[in-house]
Amino acid sequence: MAKKKLNIGLMGCGFMGRTHSNAYNKVNKFFDLEYEPVLKAACARPEDESKLIPFAENWGWQSTETDWRKMVERDDIDVIDIVAPNNTHHDIAIAAAKNGKIVLSEKPLAMNTAEAVEMAEAVEKAGVANMVWFNYRRVPAITLAKQMIDEGRLGRIFHYRAKYLQDWTISANVPQGGQTLWRLDAAVAGSGVTGDLLAHSIDTAVWLIGGMDSVTAMTETFIKERELQDQPGVRKPVLIDDACAFLARFKNGALATFESTRYARGRKNQNCFEINGEKGSIFFDLEDAHQLQYYNHEDDAHTVGWRTILVTDSSHPYMKQWWVPGCVIGYEHTFINALADFLKGLETGKPIVPTFRDGIETQAICDAVLKSAKTGVWEKVEG
C-alpha cells in the first residue's frame, strides 16, 4: 500500500539538523509506518546560505529558504521541525501552528516557562500534533528502565541522582556567540548547562518517576568574560551558567541530586542516572548506552548483586527493528526511534510524549533551578 507523504520543513542546518535529516531519511527503512517523510525544504538565516546549500544537497532536501516566515506559510509543507537556536523556538512554533502545521521542536522547548506555555497553547488551539525532541527517552536501555519501574521491579522510589558532564568550554580561549557557539550566549540560549544539558536529565527523571515539587540550586560561571566569535577582539561578560548542581524533592517523596558542568575534564558527554528503590536499583550511563545495570534485592542471597543487561534483544524496546542480538545501536538511532513513535502517533491519533504541554514541566523546573541559584532558597516548581 502506498504510504502517505508528509512534507517536512526543517528550521536550521547545524548539528541537530544532521541528526534529524538522517532520521527522516532512515525511518521508513526500519519501521513499518503509514507515513513517509519527504525532505521538502531546509531553512537557515541569509548569512548562513553558503552553509545551507551544501547541507541541503548532502541530505536530500528538495529546496531551501532563508526566511522562516515564508517557510511556515508554504502550502507544500506539512511539518515544521525547529532545530534552530533556542531564542527562535517561540516565534517559529506559534507562527507554524497558526498556519496549521504540525510542529516539532528541539529542546529546551523555550527560553522560559512563559514562552513554553504560549507555545503549548498555540499548538493546542490550532489542533496540530506536536512533540519535543527529548531523544534520550528513546534510548532502548532508558525505555527499558521505564518499563521496569512501571512493572514495580524497584518498588517505592527513594533516590534519584543524575549527572550530565562535558568538558568542551574549559579553555578561556573558547569564544562565545556566533554560528557555532551560541550556547554560550545567554541572549540566544537562555541559560547554560541548565537548559542545554540538565533539561535532558530533568525530562528523563520526570518521565521515569514523576513530577518535582521543589528545588534548591547553585550555579557558577567560571570564566567571566569571553571574546565574541563574530567580533574578534571584542570581549563581553559571560552570562550563562557553566555548572549547575541542585537538590530536588519529587511529588512522590523521592529525593534527588542533579549535577551538570562543561568543566569535567575527560567527560565528553556523560549522561548518567541511578535510581534506588525498596526492591532494587537501576543505573544507566550514555557512554555505555547499550547497557542497563540492575540490582534486584529479591534475588537469592547467594546470587544477589548488580547485573548487566545487554539491551540488544528483540524483546527489548525498539530493538526488533534493528540488528540481531548483541549488535548495538548508537546516538543517531534515538532520533529515528523518536520519529517512528511520532509518525505512529499520527497514524493512530494518539499524542506522542513529550508534547509541548509536557515540555512546560521541564521548562518550569529549569526556571525554578535558575531562580533558586539566585535566591539561595528552596523554590517551588510552578506551572
Residue 125: all three cell numbers together: 488551539
Q: 53-76: string of b/e by CB count within 10 Å (b at 16+)?
A: eebbeebebeebbeebeebbebee
pLDDT at 28: 98
Q: How far is CA 97 from CA 21, 89, 123, in A?
A: 22, 12, 5
Contact predicate 9/71, CB 8 Å: yes
Average pLDDT, the chain: 97
Q: How many CB atoms lie within 10 A of CB 100?
A: 12
CA–CA separation, 272 vs 283, rounded Å?
A: 7
What distance lies between CA 220 and its chain's CA centroid?
A: 23
Helix ranges restricted to H, the chain: 15-30, 49-59, 68-73, 89-98, 113-126, 140-150, 186-189, 193, 199-209, 331-348, 356-375
| 325: amino acid identity, one letter | P
Strands 291-296 and 280-285, by their bridges, are antiparallel
pLDDT at 23: 99
Q: How many CB atoms lie within 10 A of CB 113?
A: 22
Cis (ω within 30 of 0) for the bond into 108?
yes
pLDDT tens readout for residues 139-193: 999 999 999 999 999 999 999 999 999 999 999 999 999 988 999 999 999 999 9
Residues of the chain short of pLDDT 50, as ranges, are: none
pLDDT tens readout for residues 80-90: 999 999 999 99
The domains spanning 4-135 and 137-380 adopt the same CATH topology: no
pLDDT at 107: 97
pLDDT at 7: 98
pLDDT tens readout for residues 16-25: 999 999 999 9
Domain ranges of the chain: 4-135, 137-380
pLDDT at 338: 98
Residue labelled with grid coordinates 543505573: 283
Instruction: Write down the CATH number for the domain with range 4-135.
Output: 3.40.50.720
pLDDT at 275: 99
pLDDT at 46: 95
pLDDT at 168: 96
pLDDT at 179: 86
Instruction: Write down the CATH number for the domain with range 137-380.
Output: 3.30.360.10
